[in-house]
Chains A and B, each alone.
Chain A
Amino acid sequence: MLEGEVIRVSGPVVHAGGMRGSRMYDVVRVGDGALTGEVIRLDQEVAVIQVYEDTTGLKTGEVVENTGEPLRVELGPGLLASIFDGVQRPLPLLVKKSGDFISRGITISALDHTRRWEFEPSVQVGAVVGPGDVLGTVREFNLDHRVMVPPDLHGTVEEVAEGALTVDDAAVRLDGDRPVRMSQAWPVRKGRPYGRKLDPTIPLLTGQRIFDTLFPIAKGGTAMIPGGFGTGKTVSEQTLARWADAHVVVYIGCGERGNEMTDVLTEFPELLDPRTGRPLLERTIMIANTSNMPVAAREASIYTGITMAEYYRDQGYDVALLADSTSRWGEALREVSGRLEEMPGEEGYPAYLAARLAAFYERAGRTACLGADKRTGSITVVGAVSPPGGDFSEPITQNTLRIVGTFWALDTNLAYRRHFPSVSWIKSYSLYLESLRDWFTTSVSSDWGRMRDRTMFLLQKEAELQEIVQLVGPDALPESEKAILEITRMVREDFLQQSAYSASDAYCPIVKQFMMLKAILSFYDAAVAAMGRGIPLRQVLALPQKNEIARMKEQLDADAIGDLIGAIEAAASTLEAER
Chain B
Amino acid sequence: MKPLVTREYRTVSYVSGPLIFIERPMRISYGEVVSIILPDGEERTGQVLDISREVAVVQVYEGTSRVDDRDTRVRFTGDPPRIDVSIEMLGRIFDGLGRPRDGKPPVLPEEQPDIGGMPINPYARDKPADFVQTGVSAIDGLNTLVRGQKLPIFSGAGLPANRLAAQITRQSRVLDEEGNFAVVFAAMGITWQEASFFMQEFESTGALERVIFFLNLADDPTIERIATPRCALTAAEHLAYTHDLHVLVIMTDMTNYCEALREISTAREEVPGRRGYPGYMYTDLSSLYERAGRITGRRGSITQVPILTMPDDDITHPVPDLTGYITEGQIVLSRDLFRRGIDPPIDVLPSLSRLMSLGIGPGKTREDHRNVSDQVYASYAYGRDLRRLVAIVGEEALTDLDRAYLTFAEQFENQFVSQRGENRSIEQTLGIGWDLLAGLPVDELKRIGPEMIQRYHPALREETP
Residues of A within 8 A of B (CB): 7-11, 15, 54-61, 83, 91-92, 94-95, 98-103, 228-230, 253, 255, 257-259, 261-263, 265-266, 288, 290-293, 295, 328, 331, 334-335, 338, 344, 347-348, 386, 388-391, 416-418, 469-475, 493, 501, 547, 550
Contact = CB atoms under 8 A, between A and B. Distances in A.
| Residue from A91, A101, A469, A493 with most neighbouring chain B CB atoms (10 Å) | A101
Contacts of A347: 273-274
B64 interface: no
B196 interface: no
Contact of A295 (B52, B280, B374, B398): B280
Interface string B101-143: 0000000000000101111111111111000000000000000
A551 B109 CA distance: 62
Interface of B: 25-32, 49-53, 80, 114, 116-128, 148, 270-274, 279-280, 282-283, 286-287, 290-291, 293, 295-296, 298, 316-318, 321-322, 324-326, 328-330, 349-350, 352, 354-355, 357, 374, 377-378, 381, 388-389, 392-394, 397-399, 443, 446
Nearest to B149: A259
B274 A101 contact: no
A388 B29 contact: no
B325 A386 contact: yes
A229 B393 contact: no
B367 to A, nearest CB: 14
A259 B120 CA distance: 10
Contact of B393 (A59, A328, A389, A472): A472
B287 to A, nearest CB: 5
Contact of A230 (B25, B49, B126, B329): B329
A363 to B, nearest CB: 25
B80 A259 contact: no
A417 B326 CA distance: 21
A389 B277 CA distance: 14
B325 A229 contact: yes
Contacts of B397: 473-475
B65 to A, nearest CB: 26
A103 B296 CA distance: 18
24 contacts: A9-B51, A10-B49, A54-B116, A56-B80, A56-B116, A59-B27, A100-B120, A100-B296, A102-B118, A253-B122, A255-B286, A259-B125, A262-B126, A266-B127, A291-B283, A291-B286, A291-B326, A295-B283, A335-B279, A335-B280, A338-B279, A344-B271, A388-B321, A473-B392
B122 A417 contact: no
Given A259-B355, A291-B283, A470-B392, A100 B121 contact: yes
Contact of A473 (B29, B30, B354, B393): B393
A338 B272 CA distance: 10
Contacts of A328: 282
Contacts of A9: 30, 50-52
A133 to B, nearest CB: 36
Contact of B30 (A55, A95, A475): A55
Given A257-B328, A547-B443, A56 B31 contact: yes
B350 A416 contact: yes
Q: Which 5 A-B pairs have the closest CB atoms?
A: A389-B316, A291-B286, A473-B393, A56-B31, A8-B52
Contact of B122 (A56, A288, A335): A288
A230 B378 contact: no
B406 to A, nearest CB: 14
A230 B121 contact: no
B274 A60 contact: no
Contacts of B25: 60
Contacts of B324: 228-230
A416 B31 CA distance: 42
A60 B51 contact: yes
Contacts of A417: 349, 378, 381
Contacts of B122: 83, 91, 253, 258, 261-262, 265, 288, 290
Contacts of A293: 119
A501 B355 CA distance: 12
Contacts of B27: 59-61
A54 B80 CA distance: 12
Given A61-B27, A263-B127, A388-B274, A101 B392 contact: no
A101 B443 CA distance: 52
Contacts of B392: 470-471, 473
A229 B285 CA distance: 15
A172 B397 CA distance: 81
A389 B310 CA distance: 13
| Residue from A103, A253, A389 with most neighbouring chain B CB atoms (10 Å) | A389
Contacts of B329: 230
A257 B327 CA distance: 8
Contacts of B330: 230
B434 to A, nearest CB: 19
Given A102-B121, A347-B273, A390 B316 contact: yes
B219 to A, nearest CB: 30
Given A95-B124, A101-B120, A230-B352, A331 B282 contact: yes
B268 to A, nearest CB: 10
Nearest to B322: A388
A9 to B, nearest CB: 4
A169 to B, nearest CB: 28
B52 A331 contact: no
A518 to B, nearest CB: 21
A471 B388 CA distance: 11
Contact of A57 (B31, B272, B280, B328): B31
B118 A334 contact: no
A386 B122 CA distance: 21
Given A259-B127, A292-B286, A391-B316, A230 B354 contact: yes
A501 B361 CA distance: 13
Contacts of B399: 474
